[in-house]
């Protein structure tokens, strides 16, 4: 979910920067279309193209209006409160005493008796103040600054311990939870060895919430899952198929599917064993192609109405390691369906929720929008547009004009929660089962994006991060189905 202005220097045309080094803020303001709001399936009228005015937002009450925070960190509804679980540069690691690393991002939550363990990504490219420190047996490339920390949290949201679980990876963005209770952390980069980097990057790594298990295991790249600017993954618990999002441009990114070999059982470290024994040849690796009847869908921005449904085919990628050509450039345009900034992914309700953060006409998209949430159903081989945010013309105003959905999680109380990575005011945004949106939290600290929303296994705590400089927060309150 790296904002465009936060990408590593020295990127190439195969990386995720925009031409001319434009920041996302510049792109949005230069190409804004009219209309604002959020459309959920069946909630408002169709949006009739890139410059159409949307119907007014149908906002939910949610948990009530947000109350400004006297500490100027997190505004929440009345009756809710938060604790700072970890803070970059302030709290310290219990396995070495170094400061908590910067730039928190995607996060998984796992039960540990009465406690939970968070596996917390750090989206670092080497320029930030607090790197993930290297550890023996946990480091992939000592020249890379990113990685994950495991945070043990008590039932009341208090931090009990924090320690490195993988180091020497780069730009650890989002990821996903596996059915066998591990976290897949994703590198959002295509950088190859050179300079400070001693190894190629752009891979997925498996991390256990049980810290003692990671030594010698977590720093093994799962090369068969492709080398590209990974964002997030969602794992089908029935088939162990893995869906992977790509946050890239020039051209826009793809949605990928890894199908395991028939012998794959779905157990801890089996992915690592596949990587060590078969390298990049394990299973099949394919990209999504969408069809409207027999008509090819070039880009998901073609869909402007919630409820739009496409059939899906999967096309094998010739060279998943991208030795000479980025994976997204290897297939003819008529054989793949693209989307600008594929972001969060989460498995729930029998399918994979997939987020596209925004689209603009000048980035190759057919229509402009400020976010789509799709739902892929493997059994039906169909993908459905559940939510569309139209272009937010007033991002500095606080209200219901949300933009830039990024990480996503399914709420145990109904609907989904997304972290806003847009312009101006930043929120945690909820969408009810009835398709109504509401602000769940507001960043009162700065204009940094929210990241990594995930509920505790008992549903009592919503964990979320403010990416920069790096806060992990535990939110508690009178949870229920939002109004």
Question: What is the spatial distance between Cα 344 and Cα 174, in angstroms, rounded to a whole number?
Answer: 7
323 CB neighbour count, 10 Å cutoff: 10
| Residue tagged 């869906």 (tokens) | 243
pTM of the model: 0.90
Q: What pLDDT does residue 265 have?
A: 97
Nearest CA-CA partner of 226 in 259, 251, 193, 249: 259
Q: What pLDDT does residue 431 have?
A: 85
Question: What is the spatial distance between Cα 8 and Cα 16, in angstroms, rounded to a whole number?
Answer: 10
Q: What pLDDT does residue 1 have?
A: 58
Longest dimension (CA), the chain: 59
Distance of CA 437 to the CA centre of its chain: 19
Q: Give the residues across from 233 on adjacent strands.
A: 244
SS3 278: helix
DSSP per-residue string spanning 12-23:
-TTSSPPGGG--
First to last CA, the chain: 30
**C-alpha neighbours within 13 Å on the C-beta side of residue 292:** 12
Q: With beta carbons less than 8 A apart as the criterion, state whether 172 and 105 touch.
A: yes
> Based on the number of CB atoms within 10 Å of its own CB, is 63 exposed (0-12), middle (13-18) or buried (19 or more)?
buried
Nearest CA-CA partner of 438 in 55, 69, 76: 76
* Reduced 3-state DSSP string for 356-384: ECCECHHHCCCCCECCEEEEEECCCCEEE
Nearest CA-CA partner of 186 in 253, 97, 282: 253
Question: What is the spatial distance between Cα 278 and Cα 321, in angstroms, rounded to a whole number?
Answer: 13
Q: How high is the mean pLDDT in each 10-residue block of the chain (483 residues)?
A: 37 34 36 33 29 43 94 98 98 98 98 98 92 98 98 97 98 98 98 97 98 98 98 98 96 98 97 94 97 97 95 98 98 97 96 96 93 96 92 86 94 95 94 82 96 97 97 97 84
CA 386, 317, 195, 18 torsion: positive or negative? negative
70 CB neighbour count, 10 Å cutoff: 7
Sorted by sequence, the CB contacts under 8 Å of residue 292 that are 6+ apart come out as: 310, 311
CATH, domain range 4-476: 2.120.10.30
For the chain, the domains span: 4-476
């Amino acid at each position: 979910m790296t904002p465009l202005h936060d990408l590593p220097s020295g990127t190439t045309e195969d990386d995720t920067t925009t031409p001319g080094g434009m920041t996302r803020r510049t792109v949005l303001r230069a190409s804004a279309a009219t209309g604002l709001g959020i459309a959920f399936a069946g909630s408002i009228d169709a949006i009739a193209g890139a410059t159409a005015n949307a119907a007014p937002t149908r906002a939910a009450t949610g948990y009530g209006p947000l109350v400004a925070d006297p500490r100027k960190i997190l505004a929440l509804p009345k009756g809710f409160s938060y604790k700072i679980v970890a803070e970059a540069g302030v709290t310290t690691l219990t396995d070495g005493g170094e400061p908590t690393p910067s730039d928190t991002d995607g996060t998984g939550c796992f039960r540990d008796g009465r406690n939970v363990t968070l596996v917390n990504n750090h989206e670092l490219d080497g320029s930030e103040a607090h790197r993930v420190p290297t550890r023996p047996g946990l480091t992939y490339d000592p020249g890379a600054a990113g990685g994950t920390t495991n945070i043990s949290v008590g039932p009341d949201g208090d931090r009990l311990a924090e320690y490195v679980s993988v180091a020497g990876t780069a730009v650890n963005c989002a990821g996903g939870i596996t059915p066998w209770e591990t976290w897949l952390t994703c590198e959002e980069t295509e950088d190859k060895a050179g300079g400070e980097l001693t190894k190629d990057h752009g891979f997925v790594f498996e991390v256990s919430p049980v810290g003692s298990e990671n030594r010698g295991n977590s720093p093994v790249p799962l090369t068969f899952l492709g080398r590209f600017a990974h964002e997030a993954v969602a794992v089908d618990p029935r088939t162990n198929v893995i869906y992977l999002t790509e946050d890239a441009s020039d051209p826009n990114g793809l949605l990928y599917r890894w199908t395991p070999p028939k012998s794959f059982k779905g157990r801890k470290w089996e992915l690592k064993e596949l990587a060590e024994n078969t390298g990049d040849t394990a299973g099949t690796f394919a990209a999504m192609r969408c069809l409207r009847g027999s008509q090819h869908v070039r880009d998901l921005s073609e869909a402007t109405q919630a409820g739009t449904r496409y059939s899906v085919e999967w096309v094998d990628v010739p060279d998943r390691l991208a030795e000479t050509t980025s994976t997204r450039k290897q297939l003819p345009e008529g054989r793949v369906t693209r989307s600008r900034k594929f972001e969060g992914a989460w498995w729930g309700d029998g399918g994979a929720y997939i987020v596209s953060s925004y689209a603009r006409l000048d980035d190759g998209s057919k229509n402009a929008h400020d976010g789509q949430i799709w739902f892929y159903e493997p059994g039906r081989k169909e993908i459905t547009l559940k939510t569309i945010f139209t272009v937010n013309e007033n991002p500095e105003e606080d209200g219901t004009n949300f933009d830039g959905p990024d990480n996503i999680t399914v709420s145990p109380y109904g609907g989904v929660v997304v972290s806003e990575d847009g312009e101006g005011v930043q929120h945690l945004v909820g969408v009810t089962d009835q398709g109504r949106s509401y602000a769940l939290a507001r960043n009162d600290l700065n204009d940094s994006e929210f990241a990594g929303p995930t509920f505790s296994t008992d549903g009592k705590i919503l964990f979320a991060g403010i990416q920069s400089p790096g806060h992990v927060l535990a939110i508690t309150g009178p949870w229920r189905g939002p109004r």
